[in-house]
Each structure stands twice: as structure tokens, then as C-alpha cells.
């Protein structure tokens, strides 16, 4: 553990046994709810979800947690053990995709606006460029260049506590966008020489902001 890390706290917890001295054992229900295939409730949740987070890890330990979103049901359920996530337009960093080519294990968290429960899915992933698989995912005459095929190993519904505490879907908790720095303002502070105002002007031009 490096000095910078040890400088921010103490009384570290370093083993599963130590954790169990702090927390109670999970209830039987918390363990029993874990499934190894998608049942009708998992399928329904995915069909209504417009957003998920994708967690990956590369061969060198590099981590990535990436947001993925589109219309509700954008993730295709191929069967009870297989999902297909289209790779829509992004920043072309390819962090998640590169990690998957090096280390196939992934974790997904599905969210549905207005629903405080979430759906967690863990499994193994591969990247496909198979036209037969990708063609049904076409939107606005654009087929995604690749898709992420996830073999489901475990899945379960997560209780609502985190979203209830965060009040994520409560309209009263929304931040007024005008009170928050623009993307250009933030990037100008992070990237030497970047013109934040020019960035914001370009970003506000619908012809430049293509989603597909």
C-alpha cells in the first residue's frame, strides 16, 4: 500500500473475515435471489431499461465502468443465457472493448427510470461483428460496427435502498443545468489550450452531435 493511500485514513479492513466482524450475515433471501439464467422478470426489466453501466477489467488490471444507453430494450435478449449490447457511437477510446478482448469478465447494472430497484448481471463477454446479429440493431439506417455478446453467469435484482437514499428519480433533486459548468468549461480547465466556448458551440450544433 503506497504512502499516498495510507495518508488518507487508517484502521484498514484487509480480509473477508474482518469484514464479517463488522457486518451481519446476508439473509437467506439475499442469497436465494441470485439466478444463473434470465427469468421473465429479468427479461422484462431489460426490455424496459434505456440505460446500463458496463464494468470491465483489462489484462493489466486497468478498470473501466462505461455508461451505455438507447431506447428502452436496446439490449437484445438472445436467449435465457445470452445478451447482445450494441456498440453505438462514442468517443472511440475503446476502453471497454479493449478490456473485453484481453479479459472477458464483465458486470452490468441495468436501470429503469422511475423504478428504484436495479438489475445486476455478471458474465463473460465477447465482441461480435456478425452482420446477422447486428442487423436487427440498426437505427436510423446505421448498424453498430460491433456488439458485445454477454454470456450470463449470474443475475439478480438489487434492492431499492441506494436509489431511495440518492432520490435519483425525484424531480426535486434534479440539478438545474444552468447552475453546473458546461462541458467546454470543464474541459478548458483540464486541457491546456482548449477553447471551451468553441467546444460548447460545436457541441450545441445538432448537425455535429450525431447519436448513431
For residue range 114-131, what is the model confidence (pLDDT) as tens digits?
999 999 999 999 999 999
Query: What is the chain's mean pLDDT, rounded?
Result: 93
Split at pLDDT 50, 70, 90, the class of 134 is very high
3 pLDDT more than 60: no
Per-residue pLDDT at 206: 73
Would you list the domain boundaries of the chain?
27-166, 171-203
The CATH topology of domain 27-166 is Pnp Oxidase; Chain A (2.30.110)
Chain position carrying cell 435484482: 157
The C-alpha atoms of residue 147 and residue 159 are separated, in whole angstroms, by 29
Assigned C-alpha cell, 30: 439475499
Please give the model's pTM, rounded to 2 decimal places.
0.92
How high is the pLDDT of residue 6?
65
Residues 6+ apart with CB under 8 A from 17: none
Amino acid at each position: 500500500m503506497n504512502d499516498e493511500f495510507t495518508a488518507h485514513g487508517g484502521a484498514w479492513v484487509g480480509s473477508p473475515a474482518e469484514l464479517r466482524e463488522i457486518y451481519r450475515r446476508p439473509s437467506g433471501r439475499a442469497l436465494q435471489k441470485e439466478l444463473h439464467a434470465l427469468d421473465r422478470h429479468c427479461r422484462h426489466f431489460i426490455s424496459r431499461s434505456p440505460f446500463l453501466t458496463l464494468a470491465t477489467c483489462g489484462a493489466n488490471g486497468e478498470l473501466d465502468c462505461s455508461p451505455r444507453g438507447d431506447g428502452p430494450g436496446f439490449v437484445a435478449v438472445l436467449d435465457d443465457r445470452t445478451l447482445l449490447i450494441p456498440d453505438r457511437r462514442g468517443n472511440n477510446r475503446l476502453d471497454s472493448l479493449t478490456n473485453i478482448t484481453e479479459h472477458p469478465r464483465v458486470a452490468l447494472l441495468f436501470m429503469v427510470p422511475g423504478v428504484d430497484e436495479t438489475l445486476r448481471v455478471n458474465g463473460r463477454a465477447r465482441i461480435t461483428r456478425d452482420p446477422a446479429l447486428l442487423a436487427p440493431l440498426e437505427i436510423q439506417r446505421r448498424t453498430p460496427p460491433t456488439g458485445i455478446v454477454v454470456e450470463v453467469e449470474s443475475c439478480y435484482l438489487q434492492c431499492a435502498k441506494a436509489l431511495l437514499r440518492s432520490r435519483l428519480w425525484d424531480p426535486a433533486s434534479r440539478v438545474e443545468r444552468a447552475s453546473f459548468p458546461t462541458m467546454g468549461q470543464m474541459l478548458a480547465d483540464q486541457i491546456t489550450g482548449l477553447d471551451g466556448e468553441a467546444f460548447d458551440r460545436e457541441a450545441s450544433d445538432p448537425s455535429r452531435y450525431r447519436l448513431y
